[in-house]
């Protein structure tokens, strides 16, 4: 019975730590660049796009297709970077507490 109570305590502690990590996610930011910095996109740890910067030289009607492709590339790079930061933050906060539970279940 003592082992069960210890396990329940550890689960509550893990839940508290996970909630703390989720609150910190809004503070994480990552920026992805495409086209040698001509387009930049910044996202937060909640995977929300915060800002897009477009070099004025790109805003021409004939360049619309290229601009769209660069936007997609920059956003995807930023999302990948912030995803890595989220996983690292969860691993640091819950090290040893979650066993083999996949981190994807927490995000």
Block mean pLDDT (10 aa), the chain, length 107 = 79 82 84 94 86 88 86 91 88 71 55
Give the strands of the sheet with 39-44, arranged side by side.
29-34, 39-44, 49-54
Predicted pLDDT at 37: 94
Predicted pLDDT at 15: 82
Q: Is residue 97 part of a domain?
A: no
Query: Collapsing DSSP states into helix, strand and coil, what is residue 60?
Result: coil
Single pTM value for the model: 0.58
User: Is there a contact between 83 and 64 (Cβ–Cβ < 8 Å)?
Assistant: no
**Domain at 57, CATH number:** 3.30.1310.10
Predicted pLDDT at 24: 83
Domain of 39 in residue numbering reads as 31-92
Predicted pLDDT at 68: 83
Total tally of structural domains belonging to the chain? 1
Predicted pLDDT at 33: 95
Exposure string over 91-103, b if 16+ CB within 10 A, otherwise e: eebbeeebeeeee
């Amino acid at each position: 019975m003592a082992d069960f109570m210890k396990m329940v305590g550890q689960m509550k502690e893990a839940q508290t730590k996970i909630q703390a990590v989720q609150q910190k996610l809004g503070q994480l930011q990552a920026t992805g660049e495409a086209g040698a910095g001509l387009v930049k996109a910044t996202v937060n740890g909640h995977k929300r796009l915060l800002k897009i910067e477009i070099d004025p030289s790109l805003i021409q009607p004939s360049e619309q297709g290229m601009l769209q492709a660069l936007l997609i590339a920059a956003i995807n790079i930023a999302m990948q970077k912030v995803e890595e930061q989220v996983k690292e933050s969860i691993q640091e906060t819950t090290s040893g507490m979650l066993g083999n539970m996949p981190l994807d279940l927490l995000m």
